[in-house]
Chain A
Amino acid sequence: MKTFKRILFLVSISILSMPLIIYSGSSPSEPDNIGTILVSWAQLNPHLNLEYELHDVQYIPIAEPNEPMFENNDGEMDIYKVLTESYGSNNRGPSYYYYMHGGWSGWQCMDVGGQNSVDTDDASNNTAVVESVNLNQGQTIWAQIMSECHSNPNNSTSTNGRGFWYKWNKNLGPNDFALAQDTGIEMIFGYIDITTCTHHLDQDYGCGAGDAGNDPT
């Protein structure tokens, strides 16, 4: 919780001071080269049985992000659809995925209310833009798709909730980033885990100031 509050504080200062790191050794000394890379949602390996795993006694319909309802006309995952169309419901009503990606220099978050980091030049809505990447430095680029974390829809009280999520990451060097300027990077998400949450059950989960983990009190 405290860390998340600090995150909000950092929103205002994050872009003001980019780090200055210089190569040493046999690696060439070059100044920072802050740029962007395009990452496409190429594939997601689902759990396939979440409906039964999330709740022991009740079948809860869940649409994982690779399911047809989230596809664009080319059969690819459509980021807008994944983030704005409900994947299921919980004790707060319809529930939505949210998404984060980033690298050493920072990260971005997208949810149902805003998808500014989707590549608007790509009509398929399948590509996101990782911003503020220092292309001169090796680093691990990561991305994750997360569900909300709430009780089942028939439980009106805020007891323990359950959520689930998917992740991709790759360690890349400066030449990888140079290649990515031509070809982009394809991400293959994998199912990671079901998580249990005991906090924030009265809030939506997402990126905004009013979302879970961001209660100023």
Chain B
Amino acid sequence: MSILILACKKESTSPASHYFGFENYEVAAQNLGVYVHVLDATEGGIIMRETTYGNDGTQWDLGAIFRNSIFTENTNGGDYYINDVKFVHNGSFYAPEGYEELTNEEEGALISPLYGQTNEFKLIRDGEKVFESDYYIPESLKLFGLPTEPGAIDVSSSGSFTLSWNADSNNENGVVFYLFSNGVDVENITVGNELHRAIKVEDTGTVTLDKSFFNDLPIGAYFTLFAIRGNAELSQGTDDLSYNVYSITEHQISCKLVE
């Protein structure tokens, strides 16, 4: 093998790549509702994310950020709270008080109880409340009936594809199904265009994705399908800065398009 390192730009760099496949932010917002807030940059905020990978386990992400203006370095903006759990800035980043750094399991232990209930998020600075968001976080989403053998799931190009999950009747935000392909053909060693496509459906526990959802994917293409549920809220702080709190639960599966 050679010593060459490739660093390449995609052949097609459609802006739709940034908006779940929609042509711009507004159209994405119309189609996806609160989920578009994941795309919003703010000075501060709290991020909660539970990601389940096929049958391979779950990863939790829990953190908070503050910067005096967007895209400057993170700093200490006060103490964040999720209900009674206090997040303090340790000089490098925010962590729950008493923790230097959280393991995946510790993050899961903190996050898991918050799904399926209404929670309070706030920032306290110098004894004053800067912002507060209170909202319901839907239950942790799990897809049902996935094949037990390892690897990508075959999806027929000529038929529909049905997925089932644990419905949450209290979730008013629906469930987003997001398809992503990075365009890498691992058999022929080629790199094509990314493909992004998303649809929001009612949280009924089942969806049948029409074959048109997989249009533009060549036979043999590998892609990831994300089932995403959650809640998000943008707030204006008393300091006139913006705060974004989103709480996501997603289950992703790897798929291959077949005849």
Tell me, yes or no, whether A88 is within 8 Å of chain B by CB: no
With a cutoff of 8 Å between Cβ atoms, the chain A residues found around residue B3 in the complex are: 113-114, 208
Known: A15-B7, A173-B39. A102 touches B182 (CB 8 A): yes
| Any B CB within 8 A of the CB of A186 | yes
Within the complex, the shortest CB–CB distance from A149 to chain B, in Å, comes to 7
Please state if B152 and A188 are interface contacts (CB–CB under 8 Å). Answer: no
Q: Residue on A with the closest CB to B243?
A: A175
Interface size on A, as a range, is: 35 or more
Among A108-139, those with CB < 8 Å from B are 108-114, 116-117, 131-132, 135-139
**Quick one: which of A3, A109, A181 contacts B192, CB cutoff 8 A?**
A3
Whether B41 lies near A23 (C-beta < 8 A) is: yes
Number of interface residues of B (CB under 8 A): 74
Q: How far is B3's CA from A21's CA once the two chains are assembled, in angstroms? A: 33
Instruction: Tell me how far the C-beta of B199 lies from the nearest C-beta in chain A, rounded to whole angstroms.
Output: 15
Q: List A55-110 residues whose CB lies under 8 Å from chain B.
A: 96, 98, 100, 102, 104-110
Map CB proximity to A onto B96-136 as digits: 1 under 8 Å, 0 otherwise. Answer: 00000000100000000000000000000000000000000
Contact of B25 among A13, A27, A131, A139 (CB under 8 A): A27
**Chain A nearest CB: distance from B6 CB in Å?**
4
Interface positions of B from 160 to 210, Cβ below 8 Å from A: 178, 180, 182, 184-192, 194, 196
**A27 x B15 contact (CB < 8 A):** no
CB atoms of A171 and B226 under 8 A apart: yes
Q: A17, A28, A170 — which one has the most chain B CB atoms within 10 A of its CB?
A: A170
The docked-state distance in angstroms from the alpha carbon of A149 to that of B8 is: 23
A24 contacts chain B at the CB level, 8 A cutoff? yes
The interface residues of chain B lying within 8 Å CB-to-CB of A28 are 40-42, 70, 242
Asked if A179 contacts B65 (CB within 8 A), the reply is yes
User: Closest CB of chain B to A52's CB: distance in Å?
Assistant: 13
Cα–Cα, bound, A32→B72 (Å): 13
Q: Decide if B68 is an interface residue (CB 8 Å cutoff).
A: no
Instruction: Report Cα–Cα, A174/B37, bound state, in Å.
Output: 10
Query: What A residues does B178 contact at CB under 8 A?
Result: 171
Flag if A105 contacts B9 (CB, 8 Å).
yes
CB-based contact A104/B13 at 8 Å: yes
Partner pick for B57 among A19, A139, A188, CB 8 A cutoff: A188
- On whether the beta carbons of B180 and A171 are closer than 8 Å, the reply is yes
Contact A107 B74 (CB under 8 A): no
Q: Please tell me if B222 contacts chain A, counting CB pairs below 8 Å.
A: yes
Contact call B13/A114, Cβ cutoff below 8 A: no
Q: Scoring A residues 133 to 175 as 1 if CB is less than 8 Å from chain B, else 0, what string do you get?
A: 0011111101010100100000000000001010101110111
Distance in Å: Cβ of A122 to nearest Cβ of chain B: 15
Which residues on the A side are within 8 Å of B234 (C-beta)?
A: 26
Inside 8 A of A211's CB, which chain B residues have their CB? 1-2
**Cβ of B39 and Cβ of A174 under 8 Å apart?**
yes
A186:B104 contact, CB within 8 angstroms? yes
A164 to chain B, nearest CB (A): 9
A38 is an interface residue with CB less than 8 A from chain B = no
Q: Is the CB of A47 within 8 A of B8?
A: no
Given known pairs A7-B191, A171-B226, the reply for A114 and B9 (CB within 8 Å) is no
Q: Mark A176-217, 1 if CB is under 8 A from B, else 0.
A: 101101110010101111111101100011111111111000
Please determine whether B40 and A174 come into contact, CB atoms closer than 8 angstroms: yes
A1 touches B188 (CB 8 A): yes
